[in-house]
Structure 1
Amino acid sequence: MTGSDIPPLTALRAFEATARLSSFKAAAAELFVTPTAISHQIRQLEEYLGVRVLDRTPRNVSLTPKGKELYEATVSGFGEIRRSVARLREVENSKALTLSATTAFLSHWLVPRLAEIRRILPELDLHLHASETIVKLHPGEIDMAIRYGKGPFAGVEATPLKIDTFAPVCSPRLDITDLEDIRRVELIHVDGRTAPLPLPDWPRWCSEAAISGVNTTVGLRFSNSMHAMQAAIAGQGVAIVSLVLATDALASGLLVQPFRQTLSGDIYHFACAPGIGTRTDIETLREWFRQELNVPPLLGP
């Protein structure tokens, strides 16, 4: 389809208003032009189509059969445009936004920081949506998401925020100070991970740390990282977790990172539905996430 396939928009607007109001004068008043201008637009439309769309008499204006067909199409088309504009204005003016992220990210990282979001965006009504799968983003429904992966992500505007890293963590009560201590403690495994690849598990960590003789097939097993981290906090063993998700537990001293050896992970991204990325509140949120995720970690007491 090209521009020449559609009659001029001004002519269609003049036609739709004239047909709806049955009057050149009333249509002119609605569109803030003169009746002569309306008449000219109708003639231009009829010349373009090669058919008469209106029957004119000194007292009346009525639709021809072809004009009735065109009127029904313009009513439908302009109506859909009006509804779309109304929805876009509603979304643009709305103070409510919904952010989707994994349960672990929301629980361990974002929820403890909600007060700071309220401070910088006091009028924002932020809704949180927990999902372990990628959800489709659409303005007015799920507006934004924290996505984890290498990217790019189709159908969204995504900005890299932070490269994730993984490392063994444990309760300070275990008093682990040396690589040799790994052989005497319980290893905690997360069996439900699907990312990043290669998986940040014990065989990979032992290989990169150049430590041998560790039986990485035994230990406590959990289906998600939240349970593994809670087990580590409880002193039940050593777990390999995301240092982003463990930030607060490490800062408070609930967990310690006994070894410097880390494993590379994927990237946290801020994603939003197409067309809303320039909203001031979304730009503010995006920058806040970027800054907060890159704050240097604090060591516990």
Structure 2
Amino acid sequence: MPLRLPPLPALRFFEAAGRHQSFKLAAAELNVTPSAVSHGIVGLEQALGVELFVREPRGISLTATGADYLSYVSEAFSLIAIGTQRLPNHRADRPIALSCAPTFASRWLLPRLASFRARWPKVNVSVDTSHRQVGFPVDGFDFAIRLSRSPVAGTAWTRLFGERFVPVCSPAYLHCLRDEHGNLEVNRATLIHVNAASEDWQAWLDASGADGFDLSGGLRVDTIQLAFEAAAMGLGIALGRRPLVDGELASGTLVEACSPTIDSAGAYWLVSAESTESAQRRPELLDFKRWLVSEAGQFDPLAEVNADDPRATHASA
């Protein structure tokens, strides 16, 4: 007797919603409406006779049963994705798919991709900067670049480089902060905050020991890119993140407003699936990884030298 499976579209809704802990984000990923995801999961719960999510005014969360079931469903979709990749006629020349934050992509990655293309002109790269979690290999990505304090178990993590924080502003704004004797009065400055940043002004103040700054006011923006642009326009002092802000510092568009420069607790990591089978079938993946780690090594002596050494890249946490 053939196995009776739940409706596959409903399972896809469940897997995405469980991974994101959100019907809305799952709908955006799957290009359907949140209502379609919600109704699909309700139908799945009725078919299974169990409750998969707890629905609350502030959002959803998996029940214990739902969390257990998600592990099986996610593994099943991963097996399908891996099996598809192993098909004889599956395209081996597809682009290298990379997920990363938009500021990192525009300020660090894209300016360097020309050197990669010069060495491997027939290898195409697809860069996705949408703010969403990536599941390997279900979502079809080969790599992701993430800012994190430490690796996460279940995937392979290779350190690229750490961030360094330094307050920056426009030269004109810095001039306005000087009194009639030429003394710098940084405490009068408007601080530009990044709402989405895991580390911001409080981290710099704690590490530097500086005082007299008012963190309650200032200008607040959604992205690091906007913070840098606001600082360049003379709207205040932003917390520069090196090497992402190095271009403006080199050109003089932004200058260091005050010292010291401190190390961030986080670093940029190259993330991929733990399996090395894809790299064996697609050697360009290993070429890309080696190239990226080599580029990163110019900014961080702690970056992994042996990008193809599995002992150095697999997370143990």
TM-score by length of structure 2 reads 0.58
Q: CA RMSD of the aligned region, Å?
A: 3.1
Query: In the TM superposition, what is the alpha-carbon distance from 1:250 to its structure 2 partner?
Result: 2.3
1:237 aligns with 2:236: yes
Residues 99 and 128 in structure 2, CA contact (< 8 A), matched pair in contact too: yes
Name the structure 1 match of 2:163.
164
- For residue 255 of structure 2, give the secondary structure of its aligned residue in structure 1: coil
Q: What's 1:185 paired with? A: 189
Report the more deviating stretch, 278-287 or 126-135: 278-287
- 1:92, distance to aligned residue in structure 2 (A): 7.6
2:294 alignment partner in structure 1: 291
Aligned to 1:173: 172
- Deviations along 1:220-279, one digit per CA (max 9) or x if unpaired, are 111221211110122211111321321322233222234233242312111223332454
What SS does the corresponding residue of 2:265 show, helix, strand or coil? Answer: strand
> Match of 2:26?
none
Q: How does 1:220-231 map to 2 (within 5 A)?
A: 220-231=219-230
Bigger radius of gyration, 1 or 2?
Answer: 1
Residue 127 (structure 2) aligns with: 128
Q: Distance between the aligned counterparts of 1:111 and 1:268, measured in 2?
A: 16
Counterparts of 1:232 and 1:142 in 2: how far apart (Å)? 34
Question: What residue is the counterpart of 1:76 in the other structure?
Answer: none
Q: Secondary structure at the match of 2:112?
A: helix
**1:137 maps to which residue?**
136
Partner of 1:110: 109
Aligned counterparts of 2:113 and 2:154: Cα–Cα separation in 1: 27
Letter in 2 for 1:136: G
CA distance in 2, matches of 1:91, 1:139: 15
TM-superposed CA distance for 1:117, in Å, is 1.9
Structure 2 regions of 5+ residues with no counterpart?
Answer: 1-78, 301-317
Q: 1:149 to 1:119 in 2, by over 3 A?
A: same
Partner of 1:276: 278
Once the two structures are superposed, the pairs formed by residues 1-301 of structure 1 within 5 Å of their partners are 84=83, 87=86, 89=88, 93-138=92-137, 141-175=140-174, 180-193=184-197, 195=198, 199-201=199-201, 203-258=202-257, 259-273=259-273, 274=275, 275-278=277-280, 279-296=282-299
Q: Which amino acid aligns with 1:96?
A: P
Q: Which runs of 5+ in 1 are unaligned?
A: 1-79
The aligned amino acid for 1:200 is D
The Cα of 1:144 is off from its aligned counterpart by 1.0
1:157 and 1:271 in contact (8 A); partners too: yes
Aligned-residue offset at 1:86? 6.7
In structure 2, C-alpha distance between the alignment counterparts of 1:290 and 1:214, rounded to whole Å: 38
How many residues in Structure 1 have an aligned counterpart in Structure 2?
Answer: 212
1:288 to 1:181, Cα distance in 2 relative to 1, 3 A:
farther
Distance change (3 Å), C-alpha of 1:139 and 1:118: farther
Structure 1 Cα separation of the partners of residues 169 and 185 of structure 2: 12
Given that residues 143 and 270 in structure 2 are in contact (C-alpha distance below 8 angstroms), is that contact kept between their aligned partners in structure 1? yes
